[in-house]
Chain A
Amino acid sequence: MKALFLLQWQRLRREPVLFFAMVLMTILFVAVVGGFGSISSIKVPTVIDDSVSESKKEFWLERLNETDGYSFEEMEELEAREKIAMGNKPFALLVMENNYQIWMLSESPELTMLEQVVRQVYMNENRLATVESVVDDDQFRSQVENRLSEPALSVTTEMVDNDNAAPTYNHQIQTLFGMTLFFSIYTIIFSLSKIAEEKRTGTMNRIILSPVKKWQVYFGHVSYSFVLGILQIILIVLLFKYLFNFDVGESTGALLVIIASFTFSVVAIGMLLLGFTKTQEQLNSVVPIVSVSMAMIGGAFWPIEAVSNQFILAASKVNPITYAMDALKGVSMYEQGLGELLEPIAIIVLIGVLCMGVGVNLIERRS
C-alpha cells in the first residue's frame, strides 16, 4: 500500500506541471482580485472645477482625504476623462463649489461606496457652513472640531453572538480563501482521475492480479489526493501570510482542521464523480462544471451574504465550500476558535463521508 501511495508522488515529480499551474493560478487570481499588500485605498482621480477658489480647493481635498478607503488625487479634467475612457480607472470625481459629480463607465460596489463617502463629506460641510452663517462666530469651527475629538458620549457597536469588536469584512481574505479552495478542487479531482487512467491503460488490471487488495488501491489514490490537496492549500496560505502579510488569524490549528476536512470532502466528491463518469475524458470535462458551480454557490467568488436567491441559498447548504469559507473567515476575520466551528466542520466531514460511501460503491459496481 505504501508502494501505491509513493508511486503517485513519483509520477507527480515527473509531471508536476498541472499542480504548479494550479498554485500559480491561485496566486494570480488572489493578487488580481484581492490586491497585494496590506489594506490599500482606492485612488480616485479628482478634478477641481474652475468655480472653486484656490483656497477652497485645498480645503475640499483635505476633507475628502480624511475618509477611509479612498484617496483623492487632483487631476486635469482631460486626463481624468481619458483614464475612464481607457478603462484605467472605474470612476472620477468632479468637485464644484457647492456640488459634485461622479463620472463613471459602469456600476460597481466601489462606486456605491464612493457615492456615500462623498455625499457624507458634502453634507457635513454644508451643515457646518449653514450654521456658521447664522452664528457668525469665528471660533465656531474649531469648537465643533474640539467637541468631536472629545465626545461627551461614545457609541460602540457590538454583535450579539460575538465578543469581539464589530466584524470587519476583509476583501483580501475572502479572495484568498475563495480562490484557494476553488483551485484546490481542480488539483484534487484531477489527481483522482489517475484511477480512471489506470483503468484505461490497463495498469489497474496488473494491480488487481497482484496480491494487493482492491481497497488498498483506492486508499493509495485517495490518501495521495488528500495530502496533495492539503499541501496546495497550506502552501498558498503560508505564502500570502508571510510574503504578503495577509491576516489569516491566530489559530493555525483551527485552520488546519478546516482545511483537512474540506480536502477530505472534495476527495469524496471526486470519488462520487468518478463513480458517475465512464471515462477519464468524461470526468475531466465535468470537473470545471462542478468546481465552478460549487465555488459560485458556496461563496468562494463573492461572499454568500451577498446572495439572496432562495434556490442558491438552499444549494449552498449542501456544499462543503459554504461551510469551509464560513469557518475559515470565522478564524481569520472574527477570531473564532475550533470550539465555535465544530458545527460547520462536522457538516463538511458528513458530506465527505456520504459522498465517499456512494462513490466507492458506484465505482465498484461498474467494474
Chain B
Amino acid sequence: MLETTDLRKVFKSTVAVDEVNLYLNKGESVGLLGPNGAGKSTTISMISSLSMPTSGDVKWNGESVVKNPNVIRNVLGVVPQEIAVYEELTALENLKFFGKIYGLKGETLDQKVEDALKIVGLEEKQKELVKNYSGGMKRRINIAVALLHEPEIIIMDEPTVGIDPQSRNYILEMVRQLNEEKGMTVLYTSHYMEEVERLCDRIYIMDHGKVIATGTQEELTSILSSEESILIELDRPYPNLVKALSGLEEVLQVVEHDKGIKLIVTKGSRLLGKVFQIAEQEDAQIAGINVQVPTLEDVFLHLTGRKLRD
C-alpha cells in the first residue's frame, strides 16, 4: 500500500538517501534501523510529503505522493524525531488545536482528544503545561498528536530517544497495541535494535543512505547462520589478548566492549578451550563467557564492520 522506488535525496554535497526501495503492506509493522546520519529521517520526510525527493517516487495505493501530497496526508500520522508541540500550552490545549486544524469540532473533537490522551496515558496530566513534563511524557504527547485524526498509517521517527526504560516500555507496548489491536500500519524508525526486534514484522537496515539488508528478523539473522559470537567479560582491557585472539584462524572479527571483548567466529569452531588457554598465557582474568546466537546488532556489524551505536 506504501512503496518507494529508487528514492534519492541529495543535499549539496551529501547524498542523504540513495536509491531506497521499500514497501509496507496494510497492517504491517515495519522497522527502519540505522545509525545516526543513516538517512532515516530524510527518508521519512520524503514519504510523508514534507520534502521533495531529488529523484525517485513514493506511491500510496499506486498514486504518486510526490505529484499529489494530499493522497497520503489525510491518512497519515507522523511522530517527528523532535518534540513538535507548543510547550507553553497544556497537553489538552495542544490536542484541541491540532484536532481543530484537522477539521474536528464539538463533541467529536472532545471525544478524539480524550481517546488520544487515553492511548498515551496522559489523562491525569492533560491540564499541565508540556514544558513541565518529563522527557517520557513529552514523547507521549508528541505521539498523541499524531493519533488524533485516527490515521491509517503512522510513521514514528525514533519515538523513544533519550527517555527512561519505563516510559520506553510503555511506548513500545502502545505501538504494539496500535498495530495488533487497531490494525494500524506502522513504520518505526530507531537505532535501537531491541525495539525493532520486538515490534516489527519486517526490517530495513540503512547505512550511509542505502538499504543494506532487509527481511524478517529470522531472515536477517540467518545471514549470519555460519557464524556465532562469543562474549568474554574481562576485569580490564588486555590489548595483547585482543591481538592474540585475532590471530586465530576461526576468529572472523574481534570487537572491544567497555566490559570485555566480543568474538565473531565460524559456527561450531569449539574455541572455548583455546580462549581460556590464551587468556592464561596473557595473564587475563576472565569474569564470564557467553556464546550467543546472532542479533541484528551482529548483522549490522557483519555488514558494515561497525556497531549500530558508539
A interface with B by C-beta (< 8 Å): 3-4, 7, 10-11, 14-15, 201-203, 205-212
Contact A212/B84 with A11-B89, A205-B50 known, Cβ cut-off 8 Å: no
User: Of all chain B residues, which has the CB nearest A216?
Assistant: B101
A209 to B65, CA, bound (A): 12
In the complex the two chains form, is A3's CB within 8 Å of B101's CB? yes
Contact A3/B84 with A209-B73, A209-B76 known, Cβ cut-off 8 Å: no
In the complex the two chains form, is B80's CB within 8 Å of A205's CB? yes
Contact A3/B97 with A14-B129, A205-B50, A206-B145 known, Cβ cut-off 8 Å: yes
Give min CB distance, A280 to chain B, whole Å.
14
B interface with A by C-beta (< 8 Å): 48-50, 73-74, 76, 78, 80, 82-86, 88-89, 93, 97-98, 100-103, 129, 145
In the complex the two chains form, is B101's CB within 8 Å of A15's CB? no
In the complex the two chains form, is A210's CB within 8 Å of B83's CB? no
Q: Which residues of B contact A211 (CB under 8 A)?
A: 73-74, 101-103
Q: Which residues of B contact A201 (CB under 8 A)?
A: 82-85
Q: Which residues of B contact A10 (CB under 8 A)?
A: 89, 93, 97
Give min CB distance, A128 to chain B, whole Å.
73
A209 to B146, CA, bound (A): 10
Pick from B50, B93, B129: contact of A209, CB under 8 Å: B50
User: Of all chain A residues, which has the CB nearest B82?
Assistant: A202
Contact A202/B84 with A209-B76, A211-B101 known, Cβ cut-off 8 Å: yes
In the complex the two chains form, is A203's CB within 8 Å of B84's CB? yes
Q: Which residues of A contact B76 (CB under 8 A)?
A: 209
In the complex the two chains form, is A203's CB within 8 Å of B85's CB? yes
Q: Which residues of B contact A11 (CB under 8 A)?
A: 86, 88-89
In the complex the two chains form, is A209's CB within 8 Å of B86's CB? no
Q: Which residues of B contact A4 (CB under 8 A)?
A: 101
In the complex the two chains form, is B82's CB within 8 Å of A209's CB? no
Contact A7/B78 with A14-B129, A203-B85, A208-B50 known, Cβ cut-off 8 Å: no
Q: Which residues of A contact B98 (CB under 8 A)?
A: 206, 210
In the complex the two chains form, is A202's CB within 8 Å of B80's CB? yes
Q: Which residues of A contact B85 (CB under 8 A)?
A: 201, 203
Give min CB distance, B66 to chain A, whole Å.
15
Q: Which residues of B contact A202 (CB under 8 A)?
A: 80, 82-84
In the complex the two chains form, is A209's CB within 8 Å of B78's CB? yes
Pick from B48, B83, B97: contact of A7, CB under 8 Å: B97
A201 to B101, CA, bound (A): 18
**CB-defined A-B contacts under 8 Å, sample of 30:** A3-B100, A3-B101, A7-B97, A14-B129, A15-B88, A201-B82, A201-B85, A202-B80, A202-B82, A202-B83, A202-B84, A203-B84, A203-B85, A203-B86, A206-B78, A206-B84, A206-B98, A206-B145, A209-B48, A209-B49, A209-B50, A209-B76, A209-B78, A210-B73, A210-B98, A211-B73, A211-B101, A211-B102, A211-B103, A212-B101
A256 to B105, CA, bound (A): 36
Q: Which residues of A contact B48 (CB under 8 A)?
A: 209
Contact A14/B84 with A210-B101, A212-B101 known, Cβ cut-off 8 Å: no
Q: Which residues of A contact B101 (CB under 8 A)?
A: 3-4, 207, 210-212
Q: Which residues of A contact B102 (CB under 8 A)?
A: 210-211
Give min CB distance, B89 to chain A, whole Å.
6
Give min CB distance, A108 to chain B, whole Å.
46
In the complex the two chains form, is A205's CB within 8 Å of B93's CB? no
A205 to B44, CA, bound (A): 12
A201 to B93, CA, bound (A): 17
Give min CB distance, B76 to chain A, whole Å.
7
Give min CB distance, B133 to chain A, whole Å.
15
Give min CB distance, A354 to chain B, whole Å.
30
Q: Which residues of A contact B49 (CB under 8 A)?
A: 209
Interface centre among B78, B80, B86 (most CB of A within 10 A): B86
Which 4 pairs across A and B sit closest by C-beta, in order of nearness? Answer: A202-B84, A3-B100, A210-B101, A14-B88
In the complex the two chains form, is A14's CB within 8 Å of B89's CB? yes
Pick from B83, B84, B100: contact of A205, CB under 8 Å: B84
A209 to B145, CA, bound (A): 12
Q: Which residues of B contact A15 (CB under 8 A)?
A: 88
Give min CB distance, B74 to chain A, whole Å.
7
Interface centre among B49, B50, B101, B145 (most CB of A within 10 A): B101
Give min CB distance, A17 to chain B, whole Å.
11
User: Of all chain B residues, which has the CB nearest A208?
Assistant: B50
A206 to B157, CA, bound (A): 14
Give min CB distance, A79 to chain B, whole Å.
55
User: Of all chain B residues, which has the CB nearest A209?
Assistant: B73
Q: Which residues of A contact B88 (CB under 8 A)?
A: 11, 14-15
User: Of all chain A residues, which has the CB nearest B72?
Assistant: A209
A207 to B80, CA, bound (A): 13
A297 to B183, CA, bound (A): 64
Give min CB distance, A14 to chain B, whole Å.
4
A209 to B51, CA, bound (A): 11
User: Of all chain A residues, which has the CB nearest B76?
Assistant: A209
Besides A3-B100, A205-B50, 17 more A-B contacts (Cβ < 8 Å) are: A10-B97, A14-B88, A14-B89, A14-B129, A15-B88, A202-B80, A202-B82, A202-B83, A203-B85, A205-B78, A206-B145, A209-B49, A209-B50, A210-B102, A211-B101, A211-B102, A212-B101
A202 to B86, CA, bound (A): 10
A91 to B173, CA, bound (A): 79
Q: Which residues of B contact A209 (CB under 8 A)?
A: 48-50, 73, 76, 78
A359 to B76, CA, bound (A): 31
Give min CB distance, B117 to chain A, whole Å.
17
Give min CB distance, B135 to chain A, whole Å.
16
A207 to B101, CA, bound (A): 7
A209 to B72, CA, bound (A): 9
User: Of all chain B residues, which has the CB nearest A201?
Assistant: B84
Give min CB distance, A223 to chain B, whole Å.
16
Give min CB distance, B11 to chain A, whole Å.
14
Q: Which residues of A contact B103 (CB under 8 A)?
A: 211
A212 to B100, CA, bound (A): 10
User: Of all chain B residues, which has the CB nearest A194?
Assistant: B86
A17 to B76, CA, bound (A): 37
